Amino acid sequence: VRSQQTLKDAIHCTGVGLHSGARVSMTLRPAPVGAGVSFVRTDVAGRDRVVPARWDAVADTRLCTVVANADGVTVGTVEHLMAALAGCGVDNCTVELDGPEVPIMDGSSAPFVFLIECAGVAEQDAPVMALRVLKAVTVVDGGKSAALVPSDEPSYSMEIEFASAAVSRQRFRVALGPGVFKRELARARTFGFLHEVEAMRKAGLALGGSLDNAIVVSGDRVLNDGGLRFADEFVRHKVLDGIGDLHLAGGPILGAFHGVKSGHALNNRLLHALFADPSAWTWEAPGAIDAVAFAQHAAVA
Ligand SMILES: [Zn+2]
């Protein structure tokens, strides 16, 4: 049975918010056993500054995953940080921010994995509780779907299809194990199409977006000078998003995720559907076999 884990030390970074374009300062701090992940908005006064990183606190999923508390205090673009925490096996962490968004960094989870490795991961004095999927749950929206099915191995699969030849049809499946997230997924960047980016800018969104923090596709071409980090970087990023969105369950998931063109909205609907059926899940301490898969110290990657 793997222990719960937190950071050994606090660590800090700054970056820009993708949608606000504003500079954001972020500090990741160790948190006690059972605390989970929560955000603290240090710039907020007179209202509750704490926003839980939980599936039932998700308030918006249109452009990114946004969580909110009862006072309406929000934190946006949580998914790439949540994916890094999941991928590095960090169960308990307090994330301080002086603005409304997690910084976008390079559009991937790699800078957050680097921060977590610099801080170090520490074992805590309690077993981790994993969310075991007991029966298949599926949500569908037109041609899109997301499902969680029982499996002894935590795994994620995704398929996407876009008209652009730069993306076209891509599938990716990964079973999480030590070092897998860092090696196969962390560096995959978010992406957008030039016409969408221009429309968002006109609407006052994606103000911090640039070729430094997203892959931008125009027609059948990738506009970024350095090209892609993986030939199938697009679908790998969608898997990364899925891992981040599903980490809002409140612990590691012992089951297999299957997404077809799934995004933040459907990923969150899937957690609502799962938790709505008490016969579909249980919290349990992973056994000896599962502990191998959950021993995801980034430092030993
Ligand atoms: Zn993303």
pLDDT tens-digit map of 64-107: 999 999 999 999 999 999 999 999 999 999 999 999 999 999 99
Write out pLDDT tens, residues 115-149.
999 999 999 999 999 999 999 999 999 999 999 99
Give the global pTM.
Answer: 0.94
- pLDDT, tens digit, 9 for 90 and up, residues 181-230: 999 999 999 999 998 888 888 888 888 888 999 999 999 999 999 999 99
Please report the pLDDT score of residue 298 as a whole number: 36
pLDDT value at position 301?
Answer: 33
Compute CA distances 233 → 191, 222, 226, whole Å: 9, 12, 13
20, 101 Cβ separation under 8 angstroms:
yes
Residue 79 CA to ligand 1 center (angstroms) comes to 6
Is 292's pLDDT higher than 70? Answer: no
Task: State in Å: Cα 125 to ligand 1 middle.
Answer: 33
Please give the distance, rounded to the nearest whole angstrom, from the Cα atom of residue 190 to the centre of ligand 1.
Answer: 5
- Ligand 1 centre from 263 Cα, in Å? 9
Among 34, 11, 199, 15, smallest CA distance to 101 is for: 15
- Between CA 176 and CA 102, with CA 178 as vertex, the angle to 5 degrees is 70
Asked if 228 and 222 count as a contact pair (C-beta separation under 8 A), the reply is yes
Distance 229 CA to ligand 1 centre (A): 15
Active site residues: 264
